Structure 1
Amino acid sequence: MRIMPRVSIGLPVYNGANYLREALDAILSQTYEDFELIISDNASTDATAEICRELAACDSRIRYIRHEMNSGAAPNFNFVFHEARGEFFKWAAHDDLIAPEFIETCVAALDADTSAVLAFPMVHRIDETGRMTEPYQHPLKFDSRSAGDRFSQLVQFHRFACYEIFGLIRTGALKETALIGSYSNGDGVLLAHLGLMGRFALVPKPLFFPRRHPDQSQRYIRDKRQYDEWFDRTNAAKRRLPYWRMIREYEKAVRAERMGAFDKLSCYTALARQTALIWRKLGGDVKRAALDGPRGSGWRMWAARN
């Protein structure tokens, strides 16, 4: 029997042939070799399957799983985690790159700090050709010893790009969460929940290179309701209030975690502050839901489903 790997890397993909081989080569070239790579193909129609099968035949660390239909991004992201066996877990994207020492450095950071639930490096963006463009400055601090302070930072979803979701995460911590929710900003809510559990350790080296290119979902999807459908295809048939749902999920994360009264109060205060900042968007949700059907039915149906 094969010994359990210490690190699991999950790569969900749909029609990623344009950059996939380069991303896989970066993962397979890691200086830290004790990992498994789980690729979950959401019924791609391009050359994704051929690339994955070719590399899986050459490297026993790869498990390639192909689905018969595209369920959306969130179910596919969560699927690779459920297949993982390692002590640490990392999500990977088909169009991003990582430096050869990414895994080794992040494992060392988590081994050195048991209070940290996630380790991630500094970020330098690249373009569609792989050329370095600009460094990304992490605008917020996630390494406070206070759960309330960390949540207050992470609930500011509009101020950071959620690159930390591609860091190295303790598998045990992820198991205590709802993973990536099937709604817009589901990754941001997950990061906030992880922040309630422990610190994020920043590795002071640029080891993660997210690619910005014309085919990215962020480039052509501007509406949070459309993002809901991108996250989960079944959302297309539902009446949705994405901003209300996001606020509710933040609150559920706070309610789920045990912490001191001061930290709990800090979390609810931060959430109330962010809710006030997006009150126009919350009102827009209600108006859009009302237009989906008979007056008021959108709100009632959303409440019944959630």
Structure 2
Amino acid sequence: MTTTPRLSIGLPVYNGENYLTEALDDLLGQTYTDFELIISDNASTDATERICRAYADADPRVRYIRQPRNIGAVPNHNFLVGQARGELFKWAAHDDRFGDTLLERCVAALDTEPDAVLCHSHMAVVDADGTLAEKYDYTIATDSPSAPERFKSLLVTDGGDDFYGVVRLDVMRRAPRMDSYHNGGRVFVAGLSLYGRFLQVPEVLYFRRDHPGRGDRLPSISAVCSNLDPRRANHSTARLLAEYVGGYLSVIRRSPLSPRDRAACYRAILGWFAGRGMRIPARRLAFARVLPSFGAGQVDTSGSSESSTLRERKRR
């Protein structure tokens, strides 16, 4: 008899041979084990397929799916949500690193706080070699009981990567799907905040890798969005920015808010747009770091924010 896993992890990948094995070892070595790991390979042309098939053969929790063609990063992410069987869901990037207790701590926090819809941990950024480059303080008011306050805090403050948190799957499927206009992932996360509070495990258990192969290093908004979805190839920057603003209005309209809270969120959009809406920070945290990007790790994932080396782990 097949047992349905409680958590589904969706890992989209395209030409990820450089870092993929480290991410897979981290995920399969988690102290929390009641999960399925679904890999959607976006028609990679490097060794990604061989690596994924080897892990799927070795661990029954791994399910490998290969797209017949490159459908773009955003459709590949959304495809994984449709494949999930668990009560909870988490996207995982093929080039990031994960502390051993990340899943355990996030699932436990959601069990303790049933009104919360998402849980993630504190994060740090590592470079291409895995060396700790920067730590981030999470100062966003996403744990507020007020939906407008949560929403507004995500409009104006950087400081986390909640896109990669553990989310209640029923909420993900009720909320508007992620789109491929400019900063579509940021809009998606803001939409989730209208369904409930976010929780943060106060330990650094998530390590986002910053390296030259990341897709958001492309030279223009239109190039980034074309990488997210090939159907965006001929869309103008003006259209991509207009859809970005419209996306916020859409998630407000479609969310289960009281008339008073809905009006407060619309006012927050007006204030954001007047103050900074179309400005693109020179250095920003990617709430929407959904682009496939292309050794030994050098940061400790044991949970200590003071550590600077990852424990090397043999594949289980």
In the alignment, is the contact (CA less than 8 A) between 2:137 and 2:159 conserved in 1? Answer: no
Distance 1:279 1:144 in 2: 23
Instruction: Tell me the equivalent position of 1:32.
Output: 32
Secondary structure at the counterpart of residue 71 of structure 2: coil
Distance 1:277 1:127 in 2: 33
Distance 2:259 2:240 in 1: 29
Distance 2:55 2:277 in 1: 49
Looking at secondary structure, tell me which structure has more helix per residue: 1
Matched to 2:224, the amino acid is Y
CA gap of 1:59–1:167, structure 2 versus 1, over 3 A, is: same
Distance 1:279 1:209 in 2: 28
Instruction: Tell me the equivalent position of 1:268.
Output: 266
Give the drift of 1:244. 1.0
Q: Higher mean Cα deviation, 12-21 or 271-280?
A: 271-280
Matched to 1:176, the amino acid is R
The alignment status of 1:235 with 2:232, answered yes or no, reads: yes
Distance 2:278 2:148 in 1: 26
The alignment status of 1:60 with 2:60, answered yes or no, reads: yes
- Structure possessing the higher relative contact order (Cα contacts under 8 Å, 6 or more residues apart): 2
Distance 1:102 1:279 in 2: 33
Secondary structure at the counterpart of residue 140 of structure 1: coil
Instruction: Tell me the equivalent position of 2:166.
Output: 168
TM-score, normalised to structure 1's length? 0.87
Secondary structure at the counterpart of residue 213 of structure 1: coil
* CA distances 1:170-203 after superposition (whole Å, capped 9, x unpaired): 0010011222112221111111111000000011
* CA distances 1:203-235 after superposition (whole Å, capped 9, x unpaired): 1111100011111123x2242222211110111
Secondary structure at the counterpart of residue 69 of structure 2: coil
Instruction: Tell me the equivalent position of 2:208.
Output: 210
**Unmatched tracts of structure 1, length 5 or more:** 283-306
Percent identical: 42
CA gap of 1:279–1:93, structure 2 versus 1, over 3 A, is: closer
Distance 2:278 2:105 in 1: 43
Matched to 1:211, the amino acid is R
In the alignment, is the contact (CA less than 8 A) between 1:162 and 1:187 conserved in 2? Answer: no
CA gap of 1:279–1:104, structure 2 versus 1, over 3 A, is: closer
**Unmatched tracts of structure 2, length 5 or more:** 281-316
Secondary structure at the counterpart of residue 78 of structure 1: helix
Q: CA RMSD in A?
A: 1.6
Give the drift of 1:125. 1.4
Secondary structure at the counterpart of residue 10 of structure 1: strand
* CA distances 1:6-28 after superposition (whole Å, capped 9, x unpaired): 00000000001000000000000
* CA distances 1:76-124 after superposition (whole Å, capped 9, x unpaired): 0011111000000000001001111111100000000011100010001
Distance 1:161 1:47 in 2: 34
In the alignment, is the contact (CA less than 8 A) between 2:180 and 2:229 conserved in 1? Answer: yes
Secondary structure at the counterpart of residue 90 of structure 1: strand
* CA distances 1:231-275 after superposition (whole Å, capped 9, x unpaired): 101111344511110111110111112323332222011101122
Instruction: Tell me the equivalent position of 1:140.
Output: 140
CA gap of 1:116–1:30, structure 2 versus 1, over 3 A, is: same
In the alignment, is the contact (CA less than 8 A) between 2:39 and 2:62 conserved in 1? Answer: yes
Matched to 1:179, the amino acid is R
Secondary structure at the counterpart of residue 11 of structure 1: strand
Secondary structure at the counterpart of residue 253 of structure 1: helix
* CA distances 1:26-60 after superposition (whole Å, capped 9, x unpaired): 00001010000000000111110010011111001
Secondary structure at the counterpart of residue 245 of structure 2: helix
CA gap of 1:57–1:249, structure 2 versus 1, over 3 A, is: same
Give the drift of 1:278. 4.6
Instruction: Tell me the equivalent position of 2:97.
Output: 97
Secondary structure at the counterpart of residue 3 of structure 1: coil
TM-score, normalised to structure 2's length? 0.85
Secondary structure at the counterpart of residue 58 of structure 2: coil
Higher gyration radius (CA): 1
Matched to 2:274, the amino acid is A
